[in-house]
Structure 1
């Protein structure tokens, strides 16, 4: 018997290795990508990037909304969410006891799916709710995220699009085998537990889209652009009526059909050894059984008959969208159409940029292309100036196409486009995420990597004649016009179903999790940033501090001037830079300047923060000196025109008015008003009347005063400090840096004060805030531990309690923020977006989390170990080293926070975290801002939490 057992064990060990070895398909290109195919059909792409000791992995599935069943739209996206629920081993305490409940839930959902009587559907849902509560007693919520968090993983996420569903994670490089263990288990044996709360989270994501005018007009245009095709009829998030009656059987069938090795790929970029990595992948994923690969039959796509028009009403910015059918991504004309799009709009020197935006004929405009597997589209868009009709913007956009059809574009433009595209590609090599994205796109497009790496060569071969031909061939009088106009949006309100909070077992862990964490790894040695090694610093010398960082990857440079003055010091700075971007010099007009920037392959960018301003020049190293000369002429010899300013002010006033109707701006302004009162930046900003009185001399003076301040200069590239400083003009500071902004937080009179702003929308947005006293930079380590415990990822307190247990929201976050400058404030912040009729319940639970923090030794240990693992693998990439130093300097932190955290976190105990929480966070007075529909939000219930004051736009905005 023992001999038989020993032979059986040997057989089990040997069997997984009986399949053929991975087949190497490709191994030569700029990223040194290796492409393999396992015996079961699974494709594997590997690329080595040793800049940091991390790896970024995606698992790609060729399935998305376009393969959803017509009566179950949104199914692929549902499945994406359910793939985080674990398996018969992962995410469960006892699957044998859990399984009968899950099977009953599946049967109940099938009854719910076919039932048409509303009352009976409610009865079935009540049974689902009760059964789900019983099933959840055996579930470990977000086990997968907890494991990843424990081993230092970040960005655990996924997305669904027309033809793809992608699962992603960023990990320390020594966690490859643990990753393979987790993912091979997840994809070979998924279990769809905790479904009814996840259903609500998905619907909350749909609600978010309903409050977006841009998304609503996009979907309306797609319906007309792709007649008879699922690209137009099936949105990624699905129809509301389908989302509320899902079928777990249909979802399982979809998984079985599309999640098969031959329809999937693993893509990894990072600090990996190729041979070792493919061996691990083959060991864990090779035993997956080969299954039939779904044959995707191209759907019929009818041509557009004439000009099709659609109008959508929504709050916010008005604009027009034009859309044409073109070609799918593997069509011979695909490259010519991409060049056509770049001739229209390349942000700097396209026809739309030079003919419409720069001369202020429209407020804003652009174009973009979308080439999918079965069809393609070209889009143009534009927003009107004050008094300008959308029809006029439409005509101006159409004229730009006619210019290309007539060949009226300059000869230098196509070569310049090719050069700039190559620069973009080179910069993409710098990050693992961008490297993987390039590879993933080729896999989804069913394009062999050997062909994908020739994309740039094919683009470079495009001629003027090719562009003129496709412009005339594809852009006739058969297209779609979409108008987004101001008006009352058509919002579908869905009744909130009764959901009981399910137990989460947050202090438990699955046997699978313990087995994964027991796998041996070689710990990474931490490496903290060192001045003189990772970057060079000189000065300050005559008011200027110089930083130099070497670029080890490509020949792209960037140089940034950072000035200690921002919008809170001078509200006109941003307007001054906006005017600069519309202005030329004594030698060349704004249009000629845009052409020259693009020809050189460099760009100048401006960033005005509340307490500092940055000017950045970046691009090809070969253009450093001419680019610098051009920037200097622009900054010091700009020719501001009153007529340009008047148009700019008019456009700015429209943009400001439209922003005052956008939910994101409103809730932000509410929170700032609640915090600072009349000192809120939205009330202190320059009024419309003052804007009308602006002169070019005032703005020129704002810019000139900025350039006189002490500043930092940070260079990233391949030159030494002496070399780049020799090639760089000098600004000589003659003024003192202004004091940091001082805005005292307003006193609060009640334990909880609520501000409410009415707006008709599907969701309510809630912002919770407390001012924290008695903190200093020495508290930052424990503050970060608290943030990880409270709001860090899907296994955190906030996510688990608000979304996973109760289905109250799609997005919810909670954290403690540190001051942005010396003298600024520490704050506790919570935010949630939820269906309006869930507002009171969501807010009540969130307040409870802040004031009755759940205590869990297991969760704390996971948090602590996660931070340690992350710190071991943490490295600042070469482009962000100096900005990280400056970030902490502005906050008065004179030590390496990562290094201190690595020293202190291992010995931190739960009692220290709780002591910090009780002293600084617990029971602090709360300021609550709520934006939502008065008819859907229960104001009387809110008044039981704290006094409610209703606001209008004039309370929080200066017009």
Structure 2
């Protein structure tokens, strides 16, 4: 889906001005290769090349040969900041429309289509200026009529078909305040196809199928109105920036502006900002940079530069007193505190702020981690930096535990700032922060997405000019002194903040975007443009798939009585060690509580706070996670500290001491978290789904009852932890050590019993059969409705893996699928919709068919009917099927399972009763499958079958009596869903 970029607290961003003496390490240099000049920064671990073409287009390339794929981003330095004041949301509209094609693709006959497109543009201009309900309805009726005719010449989703056929993944885009970014992950042999499509995409886009896409944006807006987190974020920005567009212009647009779109204004925005000197192409992955830059130059050379009007806001006035806001909604309560800080271009400020932020909260040993989270003084708390070009935001957030007010949480959060301002922290924490930043940097280099995103972020904020300081981030952080941090905190953190209280209650200010009348349009599934045929015919060097050979790719050994599975890390100095136990929450419901409890416990040598500091200081970490049938301990970090990290964890698990006070606090917080879960619509929907799949007794509500929770003792939990190593477990190692060395090192610190203790018997959950249509209804105060279809199928059969995968890709697994094209593109009934046949995780378990529509409540009946039609009768599209098969083949050809992923793939296969890599069998089956097989699969497993409908909605907006026409209605209480 094309969505707005979500709020992400970016912890490491544009950084510090280089101090004297550091310039020799990170300097801009120039070089030439393949006939093109480029710049680079010395000692850049990404080895990024920065090109500027003659027309001003920026191209940034980073080669990574880890897998035969490339993460691509095409970005423009224009977002909602640049929207006209009377057309907010315009940049986001445009993002959606750039998936609709041009004069050469997305159309059956541009000459015949064009007059209708021009007419629609004129009608929207008229609609924009028309007042009066009846008059506006009349104009919209004309828009709908003309759009229906225009759609007969359009090929819906042809862009998605083009990308899917070449093996692209993650087709998406986002709009934010300063940027609009278009994203694709492509096979390494598809660069020519990709660049040809993208060059055409931005040449002269046609804004076709506008009114149905506009309805998708309406749905997106309404979903935002149901999202308390989004409302808090927008309220915070508006208060923090009373002048700047960060706070004054919603990225998705106001309701009023959404009701009055103007295609001419959108075209003007495109012409002004989508110019080469304001855009960048970033690619990270497996490619020849000399070939790629030449190809980009040839294909994008047509673009003509223009002067770009930068958004230059007046400075915000200094805040002299706290600004307090309240947001109401059904979700759990929390408090957000935000300070307006210097922007990302102030690199001196950013490096200090980054270190300061990590001293306050780094997830392990920051002031808030130790003083608030570790001591359980709040339900949860966090802090972080969101760096924007003109200003940055430092944000602190917290949730209250039982008996605590949000005002209490506010006091505790600000109290940590006071500690910082007084300098009451150990300066050695800066060194630990730097070591962990080095670890993060190593891990980030493994990901093409991380590389590309970092490079594009640098372009958006500074056109890449600050890349030398970005690269020197970790070194610059190490030079920050305690006095600098204290001075910075006292300079910027006073009574100059915005505080937003998110309280539970009805939001009486919600204004929904009303549903217009839309006649379903043609999607022309079988049509294809000559351009698509041309792209398909372009030669591509085949990529040979690589299958795992579990006997070759995994080495096996022993650590005492435990099996050891080993894969060597030949790339860097990172290690990951796991103990995987054959016991989980289905064996003992207290297992999850025990795992959570461990972080609050001391030993005879260390306090809980000292343990966190010790791990953070050596850039290592541990985690104990519980699943239904397994518990996994992971210890990760730098191999140079392997012995220290593993020995420390072994000491903790063996010597942790009961702490009744910590347990009482944990129980209290858990009760609050449980209460909050009942306010979260995502959790409620999960409960409905589990109830539909398994019945009243299901994995979701298999929880400690209130009485059971209160009865648990500290000794019970520490006994569970002390005895964990006695259960059957497998040791997994991925790291630079040889097998024999790793085996010896692990054996020194990990004591394995001579014989394992039998685990308590696990409870069994059985999937139910849907014999009749049934509706499971849960009440939630929201504008939207959420509907899931659930039906359990037959037992797992590895021979069905190929047809299941193809069916999912063709029917409902992506934006080019039958379901998405019909429900969203043709009928404009939902922003989000999908359907798939889900395979179980273990042998002898059953498949489950799942379908979903999230839509406005007043569209629910139409959406349900629309999905039911597809579940009963699958439309035939040979072109779409061919695309799905091509995509499936290319996904398998370019997929590389590496590192410890090899071991977990083996364990996954073993659970399904497989001894080989099933992907090879699937790959060899693809060409044998056709529509007859897909239809047979659909008819046997989905068509004309009873379903359980899980519906989450407000009874004030959905007629419950209407639901009885679907099947027997059962309204479920939250206690039935959650088990407590």
Report the TM-score range of the alignment, normalised by the length of the smaller protein: over 0.9
Structure 1 residue 395: Cα displacement: 1.0
Aligned to 1:646: 664
Aligned match for 1:24, one of 24, 38, 49: 38
The answer to whether the 8 Å contact 1:319/1:390 transfers is yes
Aligned to 2:27: none
Spell out, residue by residue over 1:479-500, the C-alpha distance to the aligned partner (whole angstroms, 9 max, x if none): 1111111111333233321111
Look up the SS of the partner of 1:294 in the other structure: coil
Distance 1:619 1:272 in 2: 30
The answer to whether the 8 Å contact 2:368/2:416 transfers is yes
Aligned match for 1:311, one of 321, 326, 330: 326
Look up the SS of the partner of 1:59 in the other structure: strand
The answer to whether the 8 Å contact 2:95/2:175 transfers is yes
Look up the SS of the partner of 2:695 in the other structure: helix
Distance 1:347 1:511 in 2: 54
Look up the SS of the partner of 2:202 in the other structure: helix
The answer to whether the 8 Å contact 2:796/2:839 transfers is no
Aligned to 2:870: 849
Aligned to 1:16: none
Structure 1 runs, 4 residues or longer, greater than 4 Å off: 737-741
Aligned match for 1:808, one of 812, 817, 829: 829
Aligned to 1:623: 641
Look up the SS of the partner of 2:666 in the other structure: helix
Aligned to 1:369: 385
Aligned to 1:356: 372
Distance 1:873 1:748 in 2: 39
Aligned to 1:7: none
Distance 1:117 1:879 in 2: 64
Matched, 1:341 2:349: no
Give matches, 1:222-621, under 5 Å.
Answer: 222-331=237-346, 332-446=348-462, 447-448=464-465, 449-490=467-508, 491-538=510-557, 544-621=562-639
Distance 2:185 2:855 in 1: 29
Structure 1 residues without counterparts, runs of 5 or longer = 1-19
Distance 2:802 2:770 in 1: 28
**Quick one: structure 1 residues 492 and 952, their matched pair in 2 at CA, closer, same or farther if it must change by over 3 Å?**
farther
Aligned to 2:918: 897
Structure 2 residues without counterparts, runs of 5 or longer = 1-33
Give matches, 1:824-835, under 5 Å.
Answer: 824-835=845-856
Give matches, 1:527-926, under 5 Å.
Answer: 527-538=546-557, 544-728=562-746, 729-732=750-753, 734-736=756-758, 742-750=764-772, 752-773=773-794, 775-926=796-947
Distance 1:319 1:286 in 2: 51
Spell out, residue by residue over 1:365-397, the C-alpha distance to the aligned partner (whole angstroms, 9 max, x if none): 110111211111111111111101111111111
Look up the SS of the partner of 2:944 in the other structure: coil
- Bigger CA drift: 65-74 or 451-460? 451-460
TM-score, normalisation: structure 2? 0.93
Distance 1:116 1:458 in 2: 58
Structure 1 residue 601: Cα displacement: 0.4
Distance 2:802 2:968 in 1: 36
Distance 1:486 1:583 in 2: 33
The answer to whether the 8 Å contact 2:172/2:184 transfers is yes
Aligned to 1:949: 970
Distance 2:553 2:284 in 1: 23
Distance 1:412 1:133 in 2: 67
- Bigger CA drift: 586-595 or 212-221? 212-221
Distance 1:667 1:568 in 2: 22
**Quick one: structure 1 residues 404 and 633, their matched pair in 2 at CA, closer, same or farther if it must change by over 3 Å?**
same
Structure 1 residue 568: Cα displacement: 2.5
The answer to whether the 8 Å contact 2:101/2:159 transfers is yes
Look up the SS of the partner of 1:584 in the other structure: coil
**Quick one: structure 1 residues 775 and 341, their matched pair in 2 at CA, closer, same or farther if it must change by over 3 Å?**
closer
Distance 1:945 1:607 in 2: 40
Structure 1 residue 836: Cα displacement: 1.0
Spell out, residue by residue over 1:148-204, the C-alpha distance to the aligned partner (whole angstroms, 9 max, x if none): 111111111111111111111111100000000000000111111111111111121
Distance 2:257 2:726 in 1: 61
Look up the SS of the partner of 2:324 in the other structure: strand
**Quick one: structure 1 residues 75 and 731, their matched pair in 2 at CA, closer, same or farther if it must change by over 3 Å?**
farther
- Bigger CA drift: 914-923 or 472-481? 914-923
Structure 1 residue 739: Cα displacement: 6.3
Structure 1 residue 921: Cα displacement: 2.6
Aligned to 1:13: none
Matched, 1:175 2:190: yes
Distance 1:299 1:876 in 2: 51
- Bigger CA drift: 400-409 or 692-701? 692-701
Distance 1:464 1:366 in 2: 22
Structure 1 residue 909: Cα displacement: 2.0
Look up the SS of the partner of 1:235 in the other structure: coil
TM-score, normalisation: structure 1? 0.95
Distance 1:341 1:427 in 2: 21
Look up the SS of the partner of 2:125 in the other structure: helix
**Quick one: structure 1 residues 877 and 83, their matched pair in 2 at CA, closer, same or farther if it must change by over 3 Å?**
farther
The answer to whether the 8 Å contact 1:754/1:946 transfers is yes
Structure 1 residue 92: Cα displacement: 0.9
Structure 1 residue 22: Cα displacement: 4.5
Structure 1 residue 922: Cα displacement: 2.0
Look up the SS of the partner of 1:755 in the other structure: strand
Look up the SS of the partner of 1:445 in the other structure: helix
Look up the SS of the partner of 2:614 in the other structure: helix
Distance 2:762 2:210 in 1: 50
The answer to whether the 8 Å contact 2:581/2:729 transfers is yes
Structure 1 residue 221: Cα displacement: 1.4
Distance 1:686 1:37 in 2: 61
Distance 2:554 2:662 in 1: 42
Distance 2:563 2:105 in 1: 53
Spell out, residue by residue over 1:627-676, the C-alpha distance to the aligned partner (whole angstroms, 9 max, x if none): 00111011111112111111101110110111011110111111212222
Look up the SS of the partner of 1:339 in the other structure: helix
Distance 1:738 1:264 in 2: 60
The answer to whether the 8 Å contact 2:65/2:286 transfers is yes
Spell out, residue by residue over 1:64-88, the C-alpha distance to the aligned partner (whole angstroms, 9 max, x if none): 1111112211111111111111111
Look up the SS of the partner of 1:778 in the other structure: helix
Distance 2:690 2:720 in 1: 25
Distance 1:705 1:914 in 2: 52
Distance 2:474 2:305 in 1: 35
Distance 2:249 2:806 in 1: 43
Distance 1:787 1:323 in 2: 44
- Bigger CA drift: 646-655 or 914-923? 914-923
The answer to whether the 8 Å contact 1:74/1:236 transfers is yes
Look up the SS of the partner of 1:188 in the other structure: coil
- Bigger CA drift: 145-154 or 174-183? 145-154
Aligned length: 938
Distance 2:768 2:696 in 1: 9
The answer to whether the 8 Å contact 2:107/2:529 transfers is yes
